Amino acid sequence: MSFESNGQTDGTSALPAFRRTRRTRRSAGLRRLVRETALSSDDFIYPLFIVPGEGVRHEISSMPGQFQLSLDHLPDEVDELRSLGIGSVLLFGIPAEKDAQATGAFAPDGIVQQAVQTIKAHDPEMVVITDVCACEYTDHGHCGILVNGEVDNDRTLPLLAATAVSHARAGADVVAPSDMMDGRVAAIRQSLDEAGFPSVPVLSYAAKYASAFYGPFREAAESTPAFGDRRSHQMDPANAREAMTEIAIDLDEGADFVIVKPALAYLDIIRQARDRFDVPIIAYNVSGEYAMIKAAARLGWIDERRVTLETLTAIKRAGAGRIITYHAKEAARWLAAEREAAATREPQPSVLAHSGS
């Protein structure tokens, strides 16, 4: 084995030869030069919660910085997103009235349908994705039609298909079924084609887990089940191979791209999906993941900016092509500030640098 002094001048230390990987980490410029994963505002899809009324901008208590918005706020919201380089939104609607059949989900003048029309009239180029499910619209909070206290899979499919078609008629660019009913992608694809919307893509929540990370969302969407839970149709968090089966089925039924949800606790699923399927993989960085960072930051326990960007980088590094995230606005601003600082050669901490030891 060869030895070198490794820069020692006192002649007391002889070390074995080794590879110096730190050379490319010595400066911010070098770190940017060799960075393998780069975040951009183009990576983000921003969720919006739409409610009836006027002048409504109600902050969601468990999701600081997120709001339930009435239709009249949407133009300003879209302008802000556009100014940040964010070109896609995902819409969730909270109707004025709910019933057992979720009729508000597919009503021509439903809250999401109106939101799509409002956004498209203001900014036709903003990509509008609509969540297709029943839980926000049923008076029992479950994702479909109940029979004897259980969600009936096959009776729910026409409801989902009608909802997707109504969103397409309103001008939605993409419909995204999140219900996890078997056969829903096939039913939606057939109905869209028969209704004259063969070009509207289906973004399937193909691997959606029965996760404890959804708690804050249920406040935001007012969709907490009146009884029971959703483990009969959402996936068991312990299963990975099953997720690949679900994705394969949805693609066979006509899905154009797929969502893995949640993101941070399921990076392995994102990675497996990316390695196996040659379609866009979108990860949903969900409400609980967002709320934990916000809560810890408010207590002063973490650096919110660095933790947020590290989290989003991890999701993209795992294989997500795009990320649905409530952090989108702040992350876009932080990334823009980093680019500006780099252009003016002002020192900035690395996104991926660790604090402490």
Smallest CA-to-CA distance from 132 within 98, 160, 113 is with 160
228-247 pLDDT, tens per residue? 565 566 899 999 999 999 99
| Average pLDDT score over residue span 16-35 | 90
Per-residue model confidence (pLDDT) at position 356 = 45
Q: Is residue 198 part of a domain?
A: yes
Of the chain, the percentage scoring pLDDT greater than 70 comes to 89
Per-residue model confidence (pLDDT) at position 2 = 46
| Average pLDDT score over residue span 102-119 | 94
Per-residue model confidence (pLDDT) at position 28 = 85
Q: Is residue 192 part of a domain?
A: yes
244-285 pLDDT, tens per residue? 999 999 999 999 999 999 999 999 999 999 999 999 999 999
Q: Is residue 183 part of a domain?
A: yes
Place of tokens 């390695």: 275
Dihedral sign, Cα of residue 75, residue 79, residue 80, residue 86: positive
Tell me the pLDDT of the chain averaged across its residues.
89
Report the CATH number that the domain containing residue 185 is assigned in CATH: 3.20.20.70
44-58 pLDDT, tens per residue? 999 999 999 999 999
Q: Is residue 232 part of a domain?
A: yes
Q: Is 226 helix (H, G, I), strand (E, B) or coil?
A: coil
| Average pLDDT score over residue span 287-308 | 97
82-100 pLDDT, tens per residue? 999 999 999 999 988 888 8
Q: Is residue 124 part of a domain?
A: yes
| Structure tokens given for 287 | 């409400």
Specify the number of domains making up the chain.
Answer: 1
Question: In angstroms, rounded to a whole number, what is the distance separating the alpha carbons of residues 13 and 7?
Answer: 9
Cβ contact 272:286 at 8 Å: no
Question: In angstroms, rounded to a whole number, what is the distance separating the alpha carbons of residues 308 and 327?
Answer: 7
CB-count burial class (<10 Å; 0-12, 13-18, 19+) for 166: buried
Cis peptide before 108 (omega within 30 of 0): no
Domain limits at 169? 38-261
Q: Is residue 17 part of a domain?
A: no
Dihedral sign, Cα of residue 274, residue 165, residue 232, residue 50: positive
Per-residue model confidence (pLDDT) at position 97 = 87
Of the chain, the percentage scoring pLDDT greater than 90 comes to 71
Question: In angstroms, rounded to a whole number, what is the distance separating the alpha carbons of residues 324 and 48?
Answer: 11
Structure confidence at residue 32 as a pLDDT band (50, 70, 90)? confident
3-state secondary structure 180-223: CCCCHHHHHHHHHHHCCCCCCCEEEEEEEECCHHHHHHHHHHCC
Q: Is residue 280 part of a domain?
A: no
**Helix 184-194, helix 153-170: angle, nearest 10:** 40
Q: Is residue 91 part of a domain?
A: yes
| Structure tokens given for 180 | 């996890």
**Backbone phi, then psi, for 293, in 5-degree steps?**
-65, -45
Is a pLDDT exceeding 60 seen at residue 202?
A: yes
Q: Which residues are the active-site residues? A: 208, 261
Per-residue model confidence (pLDDT) at position 10 = 53
End-to-end CA distance of the chain: 32
